Structure 1
Amino acid sequence: MTLQDKFQQLDKQNKALLAVNFYNFETLSAVLKAAAEQETAIILQSTKSTIDYLGLEVTANLARTAINQYGVKAWLHLDHAQDIDLIKQALDIGYDSVMIDASEKPIEENREITRKVVEMAEPYGANVEAELGYIAKLGQSKEKAAFTQPEEAKQFAEDTGIDALAVAIGSAHGFYDKEPDLDIELLSRIYKETPAALVLHGGSGIPDQQIQAAVRNGIRKINVATEVKNGFINTLRNELPQTNEIDLRKIFPSAINHVQHLLKDKLTMINQD
């Protein structure tokens, strides 16, 4: 089943997929263990930074091997790519889905670049995600507001042919300075107008009730990254002062378990009726 087919299935069920970034074998393992335990499908996400760290071939092959090992239905997604050459390389190596993020460019330029990526991905049958509106990235102001508008989203999706669209409705990447307040009413209107599957970025730190409301009102993919990094590193910070152990294979499991349980809880929450 392609990710596009899965989104259509989720739309009929009014459900969503969790999409989780991984950074090494340990975080990848935690994600897949959680999905296997919950017997649910999941999206594995890697960014340019992870690819720079691991290498594209290692990133893709590590993910594929781990998916087979844990017996999970999963799709490999390139998250927040801005380099079309990197997107082409990811498609060539077998990524199921790619995101072109030209959201900080003028909308006409965003539309043009996104359309090129859609055309590029078509022979591969890959899912293409884009972003419209202002969703603060790490280090950017969360006070600035440029929410996605329904008619604009509809026109953008129809003009580009994208499969999925990340919308700005009050979420942000990274840690939140205060509790986010998603504009669920706006989301509902975007959903009614837009043919593409809707994506919520900045899923770390959003209260469960708001995430569940977002799913009920059209979100089909929920991105989580910051909580994975934060949980993994903080667990190690707490463990390392208490041991003289130098065997990484004995130190990492507690951090893996922490992330696994974190994601298990999120998967349970998202899949609640």
Structure 2
Amino acid sequence: MMTLKDKLGQLNLLKGCLLATNFYNFETLSGILSAAAERKSPVILQLTQGSIDYMGLRTAVSMARSAIQEYGVEAWIHLDHAGSYELVASCLDVGFDSVMIDYSEWTFQENIAITRRVVELAEKYGANVEAELGYVAKLGQPKENCGFTVPKEAQQFVEETGVHALAVAIGSAHGFYKAEPKLDLDLLREIKRVTKIPLVLHGGSGIPLATLVESIHLGICKINLATEIKDAFMRKLQEVLIVNEEIDLRKTFPYAIKSITDLVSAKLDVL
């Protein structure tokens, strides 16, 4: 199978894009891979520190690898928003295909320094490295703060770190939006012109489909989906449990799994 680094490089030339979806348990993993199998679409499976703490590192990776094989899907495992070099090293050791080091809230020079270290480490594993530059509000952080990626800084960052993919701040945020987000597509076009590498859009939940399509044409090669995954699963589960006294979770969870499959299928159709 092609490495994720090579796959993103290929998509970068073809103006294509991969959907990167976070999973939190077997049920969300199953729903994602069911959609990918039905659509015959490649997909990135993402784990955060919180999900790793919840499931256990080796358990989560083993489950994902087994499920990828079971569903016959082209897929890669990616570490999302790592806050430390140590976490990155642990994930690479157990076989992650890709890692993201997120020092976007540190100084520009600190971000460069840690990203360069991670790139050097990942080379030993043939792994893809993603970093972030600018302010993409995380859950609980104010979405009104401005901190868009500066093209000149992005160019310097890529040159000095050798990073393979860059998450950019162009108006998206993690979590749901109170109003329809307005992405700065002109800024995206300029960042792409000066960096040339695959760009990543975080905060994909809730962005209009037409905007996602246009962002792909302008250089986004990876779109992250997390909040909508959790929301779809829990809303369907709550809906079913209100009118259902079934105690066998094997008969209840499939409804929520299907909600994930439907959601991911719709996103894959766009990509």
> For the residues of structure 2 that align with 1:146 and 1:52, how far apart are their CA atoms?
30
> Are 1:268 and 2:235 counterparts?
no
Name the structure 2 match of 1:122.
Answer: 123
Structure 1 gaps, min length 5? none
Name the structure 1 match of 2:216.
Answer: 215
Name the structure 2 match of 1:100.
Answer: 101
2:81 is paired with a residue whose SS is strand
Name the structure 2 match of 1:143.
Answer: 144
Name the structure 1 match of 2:29.
Answer: 28
> For the residues of structure 2 that align with 1:203 and 1:168, how far apart are their CA atoms?
12
| Shift of residue 177, structure 1, vs aligned partner | 1.3
Name the structure 2 match of 1:65.
Answer: 66
TM-score if structure 1 supplies the norm length? 0.98
| Shift of residue 12, structure 1, vs aligned partner | 2.2
Is 1:51–1:59's contact at 8 Å kept on the other side of the alignment? yes
> For the residues of structure 1 that align with 2:84 and 2:133, how far apart are their CA atoms?
17
1:262 is paired with a residue whose SS is helix
Name the structure 2 match of 1:178.
Answer: 179
> For the residues of structure 1 that align with 2:13 and 2:41, how far apart are their CA atoms?
17
> For the residues of structure 2 that align with 1:6 and 1:181, how far apart are their CA atoms?
29
> For the residues of structure 1 that align with 2:235 and 2:41, how far apart are their CA atoms?
27
Name the structure 2 match of 1:74.
Answer: 75
> For the residues of structure 2 that align with 1:106 and 1:256, how far apart are their CA atoms?
41
> For the residues of structure 1 that align with 2:10 and 2:116, how far apart are their CA atoms?
25
Is 2:189–2:219's contact at 8 Å kept on the other side of the alignment? yes
> For the residues of structure 2 that align with 1:67 and 1:6, how far apart are their CA atoms?
17
C-alpha offsets along residues 144-174 of structure 1, whole Å, 9 cap, x if unaligned?
0111011111110110010010000000001
Name the structure 2 match of 1:169.
Answer: 170
> For the residues of structure 2 that align with 1:156 and 1:13, how far apart are their CA atoms?
24
Is 1:157–1:195's contact at 8 Å kept on the other side of the alignment? no
Aligned pair count reads 270
Is 1:164–1:199's contact at 8 Å kept on the other side of the alignment? yes
1:223 is paired with a residue whose SS is strand
| Shift of residue 175, structure 1, vs aligned partner | 1.1
Task: Provide the identity percentage.
Answer: 57
> For the residues of structure 1 that align with 2:249 and 2:85, how far apart are their CA atoms?
37
Question: After TM superposition, where is structure 1 displaced by more than 2 Å over at least 4 residues in a row?
Answer: none
> For the residues of structure 1 that align with 2:9 and 2:44, how far apart are their CA atoms?
15
Aligned AA for 2:263? L
> For the residues of structure 2 that align with 1:91 and 1:161, how far apart are their CA atoms?
18
| Shift of residue 196, structure 1, vs aligned partner | 2.4
Name the structure 2 match of 1:44.
Answer: 45
C-alpha offsets along residues 193-238 of structure 1, whole Å, 9 cap, x if unaligned?
1132100000000000110010000000000000000000000111
Structure 2 gaps, min length 5? none
> For the residues of structure 1 that align with 2:89 and 2:15, how far apart are their CA atoms?
32
Is 1:33–1:260's contact at 8 Å kept on the other side of the alignment? yes
Name the structure 1 match of 2:19.
Answer: 18
TM-score if structure 2 supplies the norm length? 0.99
> For the residues of structure 2 that align with 1:183 and 1:7, how far apart are their CA atoms?
22
> Are 1:160 and 2:161 counterparts?
yes
Aligned AA for 2:205? S
> For the residues of structure 1 that align with 2:103 and 2:233, how far apart are their CA atoms?
30
> For the residues of structure 2 that align with 1:37 and 1:13, how far apart are their CA atoms?
23
Is 2:132–2:168's contact at 8 Å kept on the other side of the alignment? yes
Aligned AA for 1:249? R
> For the residues of structure 2 that align with 1:47 and 1:19, how far apart are their CA atoms?
12
> For the residues of structure 1 that align with 2:9 and 2:129, how far apart are their CA atoms?
14
Aligned AA for 2:168? V
2:124 is paired with a residue whose SS is helix
Is 1:17–1:43's contact at 8 Å kept on the other side of the alignment? yes
| Shift of residue 38, structure 1, vs aligned partner | 0.5
What is the Cα-based RMSD across aligned positions, in Å? 0.6
Is 1:158–1:195's contact at 8 Å kept on the other side of the alignment? no
